[in-house]
Structure 1
Amino acid sequence: MLAPLAAHGVAAEPAVWDDPGVDWAAYDLVVLRSPWDYAPRRAEFVAWAAARGNLANPADVVTWNTDKRYLSELAAAGVPVIPTTVVEPSGGLPAGLAGDVVVKPAIGAGSVDAGRYRLPAEADAFEAHLKRLTDAGRTALVQPYLAAIDAVGETALVYLNAGDGLRFSHAARKGAMLTGPDEGVTGLYKEERIDPAEASAAQLAVAERALDTVPGGRDRLLYARVDLVPDDTGAPTLIELELTEPSLFFGTSGGAADRFAAAVVRATG
């Protein structure tokens, strides 16, 4: 993004969020892009965000969005959300599950610590994964693995602030990533296959409904990414609402990086 920003007259430089040598107040705007190491120390990260009055996206949105239990709020608001069972560290393991399911941490990024299990055949591995997360004091989520993901993947709808509010910019398709149990791979994220995509009217409608639930209003956001998958009937269903540190897939759409740079210019006032 440095070259597109420079073309818009913006002097930009990368900085690491936990670097004590950075004078954050010296910047007109601090734009979150890839702090993918926040998950193991989220409390520290959200405290850092709360101290930044010039942060995009805003700190209260970051706090809300970095715990995937927000999915229950979206579901309660009528957004079609993939069914999600929350497993707290103080609770027992869920019973009666069957079929193809996903386990992931409620606080996590880049599909790290996520795995896919065929129940009951892989029940032991499924329970071991849940126990590993909850024994570490982490809340886990269990969701059905929707079969269409293997065929069509996820569709990511990217929105940028156009000055008069958050507007759809472009879409990308992410290939299926979870093929089996979590193998404890370390790193900040799992590699993804990304291709350009066209957003359907039905997908746009779901994305708009999801964005309308953002605390404080959607138009405070500089950017957003809405990740959708088809349910068993083919209807778009939200799997995640990415407002903190998503890849925005600028390379999949001509002009997307320039639109982002223009949004940054407007946000600097």
Structure 2
Amino acid sequence: MKVVLASCAALPEGDGDEDALIDVLKRDGVDVRWQPWGSPVEADLVVLRATWDYTERLDDFLAWCDTVPALANPVSVVRWNTDKSYLVELAARGLAVVPTAVVEPGEEPELPVGEFVVKPAIGAGSRGAARFTDHAAARAHFEALGVKTLIQPYQSSVDAHGETALVFFAGEYSHSFHKGPMLAQGLAESESGLYVEEKLRGIEPAQEQRDLADQVLDVAAELLSLDRKDFLYARVDVVSGTDGEPLLLELELTEPTLGFKFTSEDAASRMSTAIRRTASR
């Protein structure tokens, strides 16, 4: 069985998080290798992992995804998930989502009172995201971005408690890790410039967070006419709202860091099993 982990030219072998996964796949008899996206690829399964420059070339990236016979997650999922406007769709289905407004280029943004976040609807690694209270500065940032943008009230709980990332393989819960505040002062971009450096550690999620993550996967699968087990991997990022209840911040189905460094080898074994089952379909 041949499996390719898709990366990008700036990080041809990822950022090291998949090292444990590669070891386990090889142990399980899989011929696994890295390959930057964009060129023809032959494999039983291509798994999107570190394709983090796609935001500048989304049309090219999606066109390449269309050429890959066996892609995980599937290209229909990638098309939907690379535009964070999906948050509005999930909220419309009754899920607890951080309030999100979508603003197209040329539109006048309606900015909330208090602290809020402006970020590109198509983006990765928190690039282009910024916190504001000053409306003039926010409008200047919005104009400088020049793309479809999301505006969300900043959840102040993130400063104290960060985010919880819940990871699933083939629709089943695997593990979680904690992400420190991403938009605080002093955070540096990675050497590749593709993402903001994160402070991560393993964590045990609350039951309310698990419940919300399960609901999110079920609704997303329904929207996409899939079964949740069709998501080879999923990462559900949640934060606490003002009332302490969990809110969905992002549903990552395209190329998220999965936090293998911050959990046991069992997680890599679970993903190896999911990869081998998906590749053998």
8 A Cα contact 2:78 2:254, kept in partner? yes
Q: Does 1:170 align with 2:175?
A: yes
Matching residue of 1:239:
249
Q: Does 1:151 align with 2:160?
A: yes
**Alpha-carbon distance between aligned partners in 1 of 2:172 and 2:78, rounded to the nearest angstrom:** 20
What is the identity, as a one-letter code, of the residue corresponding to 1:41?
Answer: R
Matching residue of 1:127:
139
Deviates more, 1:40-49 or 1:100-109: 40-49
- Unmatched segments (≥5 aa) in structure 1: none
Matching residue of 2:201:
195
Q: Does 1:14 align with 2:34?
A: yes
Matching residue of 1:68:
84
8 A Cα contact 2:235 2:252, kept in partner? yes
8 A Cα contact 1:172 1:198, kept in partner? yes
CA deviation digits over 1:33-89, x for unaligned, max 9? 010000011111111112212000000000000000000110011110000111111
Q: Does 1:107 align with 2:122?
A: yes
Per the normalisation by structure 1, the TM-score is 0.90
**What is the CA distance between 1:216 and its match in structure 2?**
2.4
Q: Does 1:265 align with 2:271?
A: no
8 A Cα contact 1:104 1:140, kept in partner? yes
What is the identity, as a one-letter code, of the residue corresponding to 2:240?
Answer: P
8 A Cα contact 1:116 1:180, kept in partner? no
What is the identity, as a one-letter code, of the residue corresponding to 1:37?
Answer: D
> Equivalent residues in 2 for 1:13-52 (5 A)?
13-18=33-38, 20=39, 23-24=40-41, 26-52=42-68
**Alpha-carbon distance between aligned partners in 1 of 2:97 and 2:33, rounded to the nearest angstrom:** 37
**What is the CA distance between 1:259 and its match in structure 2?**
1.4
Helix, strand or coil for the counterpart of 2:115?
Answer: strand
8 A Cα contact 1:105 1:140, kept in partner? yes
**What is the CA distance between 1:182 and its match in structure 2?**
11
**Alpha-carbon distance between aligned partners in 1 of 2:108 and 2:207, rounded to the nearest angstrom:** 41
CA deviation digits over 1:76-114, x for unaligned, max 9? 11110000111111311224x221111100000000011
8 A Cα contact 2:189 2:197, kept in partner? no
Q: Among residues 239, 248, 252, which one is paired with 2:258 in the alignment?
A: 248
Helix, strand or coil for the counterpart of 1:158?
Answer: strand
**What is the CA distance between 1:124 and its match in structure 2?**
2.5
| Aligned length in residues | 254
CA deviation digits over 1:121-167, x for unaligned, max 9? x3332111111112xxx101111111110111000000012xxxx10
8 A Cα contact 2:118 2:149, kept in partner? yes
Per the normalisation by structure 2, the TM-score is 0.86
